[in-house]
Amino acid sequence: MKRAYFVTGTDTNVGKTWATLALMTHFKQQNLSVLGMKPVASGCKKVGIKWKNDDALAIQENGSFVVDYKIINPFAYEAPISPHLAGKENPANFDTILANFQTLQNLADVVIVEGAGGWYAPLNEMETIANLAKKLNLPIILVVSIKLGCINHALLTVEAIKNAGLNCVGWLAVCNDTKFDCVDLTIESLKERLEIPLLAIFPYSTEAKRDNVFISEIV
């Protein structure tokens, strides 16, 4: 049976790509073919004559087999700002994204789609990550950066996902704030308050070490 998940976060720079790569590895370890997708990316660099994003390149590299970059990241913008601002000349088109996703789903057993920014991050003048998630209609996995304020951010995001009529199947705790000294208690507080399972805890690391993170089975 084909499976796919949409990875969103409580904010930008919370570890969504690290989580996406770890999820891809998790499913490959189950002998499933896996591909990833980052439909919209800002902060890209010129590779030859094309703009490419480091996170999307990592997702492409971690796939079970090589797929053309343009399918994985159809909307790549140079400026490291919100996509609706960076992409004014070539705004994200959901029909293109959906067609590319279906191509990937036809090729692999599992597809992991990484969003951009937080749940309500605008992708063009009219639509947000939330709108894209609804268009794809996939189970949601929430990435929570463990830091001051994350309990509020996580609860609000889960409520917004629920209000959108989508199923949040679990959350991932990413410990990426070295100055925050209340990590364990914060994770416990989130476990008590979120009515979805904690799938994994990502300990602080200077690089995205995806092979040593145990992810619980996802329903």
* Annotation marks residue 52 as catalytic: no
Contacts of 157 (CB under 8 A, 6+ apart): 8, 10, 118, 119, 142
Residue tagged active-site, from 2, 16, 38, 162: 38
Task: Tell me how far apart the alpha carbons of residues 16 and 171 are, in angstroms, rounded to a whole number.
Answer: 11
Task: Tell me how far apart the alpha carbons of residues 118 and 129 are, in angstroms, rounded to a whole number.
Answer: 7
Pair of tokens at residue 34 = 């896996």
Task: Tell me how far apart the alpha carbons of residues 153 and 156 are, in angstroms, rounded to a whole number.
Answer: 5
Q: Are 26 and 62 in contact (CB under 8 A)?
A: no
Pair of tokens at residue 35 = 């591909």
Q: Are 145 and 176 in contact (CB under 8 A)?
A: yes
Q: Are 56 and 21 in contact (CB under 8 A)?
A: no
3-state secondary structure of 123: coil
For residue 4, which of 23, 29, 31, 30 has the smallest C-alpha distance? 23
Scanning the structure block, which residue is given the tokens 């343009």?
70
For residue 87, which of 98, 95, 97, 76 has the smallest C-alpha distance? 76
Residues designated as active site = 38
